[in-house]
């Protein structure tokens, strides 16, 4: 059970907002929500999920974690205007105050300043990350192993990438790469950066889904959400035997 400052018997709970589940749902990214849900259930933390898609307004005051999956260019063009108009301002405000967010690939790209497709269609993003994405001729595909300083020295992050967009981070101190590539392409296949982080908002190119094979990263998101909601919250360690076996098999095979 988490050690919280709460003196009452109040149940510890977290609510996740799943953005555009009907459109941004590539490569099993929904598995990330299942992983977070199970890691809470195993610790007797109540975990609820609300969804929002085209035309839905969101009350972010009831949200503890946000998740956005990946999507093809077609799906991204269907939602970027809705994202900017209906969710954008409130989402940026909430992340400024430390709301944890995980966005994968297509979702990640729409949190930057813009995403320009191979056909030259430019989709303005939220500008939450000081980053921009431009599609190249070749897709960046394959297994990825990267070092994630956020979780400590020599901790690795593994996953699978499949994107034509190449993302470049600006020179601001605020948005920095989430991880450093050991094997694979990452943001753009050139600067060895993978993903981006700004406060507790994280973008990544790693599908897989990313969280089951990276339990420490899953727990980082949960810890940030508990800290924001309850002041602080230490998570009881889980055995993670299968998770570490899956993680190490990727590290051994690809790095
Ligand atoms: N359509 C975007 C690209 O090709 C994102 C792809 C994805 O989410 N896997 O880069």
Q: pLDDT at position 26, please?
A: 85
166 Cβ contact list (under 8 Å, min separation 6) = 133, 134, 135, 136, 140, 187, 188, 189, 190
Q: Given the cut 0.95, state whether the ipTM is greater than it.
A: yes
For the CA of 27, the closest atom of ligand 1 is 9
Percent of the chain with pLDDT over 90: 90
| Mean pLDDT within 151-165 | 96
For 18-32, what is each residue's pLDDT tens digit? Answer: 999 999 998 889 999
Decide if pLDDT at 2 tops 80.
no
For 66-123, what is each residue's pLDDT tens digit? Answer: 999 999 999 999 999 999 999 999 999 999 999 999 999 999 999 999 999 999 999 9
Q: pLDDT at position 242, please?
A: 96
Residues whose beta carbon lies within 6 Å of some atom of ligand 1: 26, 70-73, 76, 105-106, 162-165
Our answer to whether residue 105 is catalytic in this structure is: yes
Residue 74 is labelled as binding a ligand: no
CATH topology of domain 13-254: Rossmann fold (3.40.50)
How far does residue 137's CA lie from ligand 1's centre (Å)? 13
Residue identifier of the C-alpha nearest atom 5 of ligand 1: 106
Contact by Cβ (8 Å): 165, 122? no
Decide if pLDDT at 232 tops 90.
no
Our answer to whether residue 163 is catalytic in this structure is: no
How far does residue 208's CA lie from ligand 1's centre (Å)? 14
Q: Pick from 102, 104, 106 the residue to mutate for probing ligand 1's pocket: most ligand atoms within 8 Å of its CB.
A: 106
For 202-218, what is each residue's pLDDT tens digit? Answer: 999 999 899 999 999 99
Q: Please tell me which residue in 18, 163, 185, 207 is annotated as part of the active site.
A: 207
Decide if pLDDT at 34 tops 60.
yes
For the CA of 71, the closest atom of ligand 1 is 8
Flag the least confident range among 49-53, 125-129, 232-236, 246-250: 232-236
How far does residue 111's CA lie from ligand 1's centre (Å)? 13
How far does residue 215's CA lie from ligand 1's centre (Å)? 24
SS3 174: coil
DSSP secondary structure, 43-100, as one string: TT-EEEEEEE-TT----GGG-SEEEE----HHHHHHHHHHIIIIIHHHHHHHHHTT--
Confidence of residue 9 (pLDDT cuts 50, 70, 90): low
Torsion of CA 122, 125, 129, 130, to 10 degrees: 40
Q: What residue ranges do the domains of the chain occupy?
A: 13-254
Q: Which of 210, 214, 216, 218 is nearest to 247 (CA)?
A: 214
How many other β-carbons are positioned within 10 Å of the β-carbon of residue 134?
A: 18
Q: Please tell me which residue in 105, 163, 185, 247 is annotated as part of the active site.
A: 105
Contact by Cβ (8 Å): 143, 186? no
């Amino acid at each position: 059970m988490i050690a919280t400052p709460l003196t009452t018997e109040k149940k510890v709970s977290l609510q996740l907002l799943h953005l555009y589940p009907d459109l941004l749902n590539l490569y099993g990214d929904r598995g990330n929500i299942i992983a977070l849900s199970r890691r809470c259930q195993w610790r007797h933390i109540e975990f609820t999920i609300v969804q929002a898609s085209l035309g839905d307004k969101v009350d972010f005051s009831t949200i503890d974690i946000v998740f956005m999956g990946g999507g093809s260019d077609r799906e991204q063009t269907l939602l970027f205007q809705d994202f900017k108009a209906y969710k954008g301002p409130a989402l940026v405000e909430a992340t400024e105050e430390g709301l944890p967010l995980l966005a994968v690939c297509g979702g990640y790209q729409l949190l930057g300043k813009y995403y320009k497709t191979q056909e030259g269609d430019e989709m303005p993003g939220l500008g939450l990350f000081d980053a921009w994405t431009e599609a190249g001729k070749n897709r960046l595909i394959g297994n990825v192993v990267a070092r994630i300083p956020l979780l400590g020295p020599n901790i690795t992050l593994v996953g699978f990438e499949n994107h034509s967009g190449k993302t470049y981070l600006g020179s601001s101190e605020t948005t920095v790469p989430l991880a450093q590539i050991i094997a694979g392409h990452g943001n753009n296949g050139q600067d060895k950066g993978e993903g981006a982080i700004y406060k507790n908002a994280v973008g990544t190119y790693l599908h897989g889904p990313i969280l089951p094979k990276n339990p420490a990263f899953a727990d980082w998101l949960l810890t940030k959400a508990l800290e924001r909601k309850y002041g602080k919250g230490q998570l009881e360690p889980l055995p993670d035997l299968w998770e570490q076996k899956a993680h190490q098999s990727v590290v051994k095979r690809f790095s």
